[in-house]
Amino acid sequence: MRILHTMLRVADLNKSIEFYTKILGMDLLRKKDYPQGKFTLAFLGYAPEKEAAALELTYNWEQGDYQIGNGFGHIAVNVDDVYQATKNAKQMGAKIVREAGPMNAGTTIVAFLQDPDGYEIELLSK
């Protein structure tokens, strides 16, 4: 068994795809419209889906904004250098929620970004 994907509902699919591909370096693996259901699915990731888990973005054509809720935490992304990745993300216009630095009560270097819908992305070094 393995995790296949994590799904997030997004308000602006193109803006979200741009964030995940340009700022986080993911590839758009596949995208499909479902006219009868009035939604589009886009799958993004760092490797083909048969090799690694993906991120599924669901865009419901007639839905506005979503409430993230208080149960969701974050998506963690591994980067070579958290400080540099945070600097690069900031230069590309990403919202930084927590600057790079040691985690609370630990030494691991972390940073947090927000995607266009407000979902938090944690950057961790290898």
Residues identified as active-site: 122
CB 26 within 8 A of CB 46: yes
Amino acid at 101: G
Which tokens in the block code for residue 122? 């944690």
Tell me the HSE value of 59 on the side-chain side, using a 13 A CA sphere. Answer: 19
